[in-house]
Structures are given as structure tokens and as C-alpha cells.
Amino acid sequence: MKTERDFSRVILTERGSRRRASRHPWVYDNEIASVEGDYQNGDIADVITSGGKYAGSGFINDRSKIRVRIISDNANETFDEAFWERRIGYALDYRDTVMGKDTGDTLCCRLIFGEADEFPGLTVDRFNDILVTQVLSLGTELRKDVIYRSLYKAMRERGADIKGIYERNDVNIRLLEGMEEYKGWYEGDGIPVPGSPVTSINENGIIYDVDVENGQKTGFFLDQKYNRKAISKIAKGKKVLDCFTHTGSFALNAAKGGASHVHAVDVSETAISMARNNAEKNGLTDIMSFEAADVFDLLPTISKGEYDFIILDPPAFTKSRKTKSNAERGYKEINYRAMKLLRRGGYLATCSCSHFMDEESFIRMLDSAARDAGVRIKQIEKRQQSPDHPILHSVPETDYLKFFILQIF
């Protein structure tokens, strides 16, 4: 792995040069005219425009369609440990500012959000005393020891009692970069290895157990933190149906917000069990009920007006442009059904977590569902992911979560 500035040179095509001018950090294989010099996959290479100008440096990997992942636009940068320490400092300072260092919200938040924080393919989530990482870039994988060491040091210096780093690299997208899948505790550089992969977090005043080994993604979905809080005031005094509840986070926020009753539904028996346990942990079981069912099958069986407030937080129906039209039909079906079930003045919270289901398409789908349901929709709030998942305007892929709170009339 090269550390001196004898990097190979990736020469872009004219099309690649135009795209690189937009500051998107990915260079695709079909945007490269030639490569000068020897390299190993995961090395750093300099990117040069078709006109011969320096356009950045990044991780090169000919196993991936994303041939280069830019990490710096500075031609004089030295990519040593101090470089990664600075990057980590920027990311942590940002979270302290936007999440509120003294509010407790940084105890459970995303510390590093990949390209949005200039760490290609790297996710780091904090769940109280455990950090969970996922690496989807070979270049980052080869440097994870120095990154983890610097991150652990920075967290300790900020007073965080971090008991370990758990790696959730059990995703098949790693195979596309030439890496293996695995999960387990990171061992090295004096970073401790705790015995249990389960910890507790406090989000919006609600306690959750988080299993970082077996939970979805890195163990818990942090991006809806403030959206969950937003629905709690709407839920007061209402009968609420929470669809795709997973571990019950929207349902619990509705119950804590003063709902008269909350019914939480998910197709997974395991998820329902976890949601029920979270309700017990927070003393909310008296006003909550739980059901393992397919939401698409359940909604047609519910009577109109049975619920005052319906929450739709489905998994991503599409992870590619090829399946977007099928996804739109799925989103429309559940939103149409929910709109039909609500009486005039009822409330609907609905969202999509797929980047490929862009906001314009999502709004168009909602309008179509409303027309077919014979209702009108009044927008109360339009929201996105919480700011610990920052949106980088030059990287559309970082803008993925659409969340709407609507009134039906």
C-alpha cells in the first residue's frame, strides 16, 4: 500500500472530466481513458482531467464499477495518520454542533456517514458505549486500523467511555469490492472487546435495547430520530396504527406522546417481540398492542375510522432504478389504503428510505393515491433524515429519506 506521493495517475475521459467538475467523489470505470503507473487495488491514485489538470486523489479498485473514490482535492495532501485524525475531528465536531453536545443526542447517533464526511464507504454509529462500523470500500478497509485507532482516541479524549467497536461487515456489497463478509468485535490497538453485543440507548426519552450483532443494519435505525419525536405531539389523544413497526420506535414515541392507544404491526415475529419488550421496558404496555402481520394484507381488513393516525415506515421497496416502478406501486398501495381508512381530519405519517424513490416521485405518488382514495391531503411537515446523516449536495446518494406528516380531508 503506497504511502509516498508516487501515486499512479488515472486519466479521465472528457465525460468523466465534466462529471468530476460537479465534485461528485465517485469515478466510474467508463469515465477513465487510461491509467499510468502501477498500483494495487486499494492504493491511492491521482485523478487527472482529459485536459491534464489535477482533479483529486482517491482509492482505486479495478474490481469495482466505482473505479476511484475521491478522498481529497488537495494535490499536496499527505495521507498519514494525522490526515485521518483531522477528518475524524471534523466529523465529531459537526455532530457536537448539530446534535447538541450537551443534550445527550450524541450518545446515540451516526458519527461518520460515508462520503458525506469524506470517508468513502465507511459508516460509524454510536450506541452509547459501543461503536458499530461498516466498511464498503477496499481503500477504507486497508486503512481501518489507523482510522479506528484515531476514532477511539478522539472519543476517549472527548470523555466517551467506549467499550468496543463491533464490525457489521455482513453485507454482500463488499464482494463487489473484493472483500469478504463477516461480523464481530474489532481487535487491535488496545481497543477493548466487551462480552455482550447488547447495549441500551436513550432516544427521545425512550429506552431501547440495541443488539449490534443481530439487529438490522448496524443494530438500530438512527436516521428517524427527530421524525419520531415530531409524530409524538400529533399522536396525543389519538388511536394510532404503526405499520412496519420494526422494534416499535414510532409506536413508542406515539404512546409516550399521549396517544389513547397504539397498535404496532410488523411481518416479523422477532421484530414484534422486540417491540413488545421495549414497551415493557418503558412502562407503555397498557396503551399498546402488537400484531405480527403483513401490512399489505392487514390494511384492507381494517374499518374506516378505526384509527385517527396511521404511520407508514416501510423498508426500502427499491434499491435500484430498475425496480423503481414496482416500488412506486407498492408505496401507492399502502398510502391509498391508509388514506381510505382515515376519516376527514385524520392524520398520516408516511416515508420512503430509498434514494431511488426521489422526492418528486414520492410526492407524485402521494397525490395519485389521494385522487384514487377520493381525498385531499394537507401537508403539515416535510422532513428528512436527522442531521447526523448529512446531505452533501454534490452527492445525491446522501439524500435518501423522505418523511411527510399529512392531514386527510
* Catalytic site positions: 353
Q: For every residue of 313-337, which 3-state class applies, written as one string?
A: CCCCCCCCHHHHHHHHHHHHHHHHH
Dihedral over alpha carbons 238, 241, 244, 249 (to 10 degrees): 30
Counting Cβ atoms within 10 Å, is residue 363 exposed (0-12), middle (13-18) or buried (19+)? middle
d(CA 21, CA 348): 41
Bridge partners, 69 (sequence order): 26, 59
Give me the half-sphere count of Cα atoms (radius 13 Å) on the Cβ side of residue 31.
21
SS3 395: coil
For 392, list phi and psi in degrees, rounded to 5: -95, 115
Q: Which residue has the cell 436513550?
A: 202
Q: Which residue has the cell 428510505?
A: 353
From residue 225, alpha-carbon distances to 244, 265, 326, 359 in Å are 16, 19, 28, 20
Q: For every residue of 32-59, which 3-state class applies, written as one string?
A: EEEEECCCCCCCEEEEECCCCCEEEEEE
298: part of which helix (H) or strand (E)? helix 295-298
SS3 content of the chain, % helix, strand, coil (to 5): 35, 30, 35
> Beta 108-113 vs 66-72: how paired, if at all?
unpaired
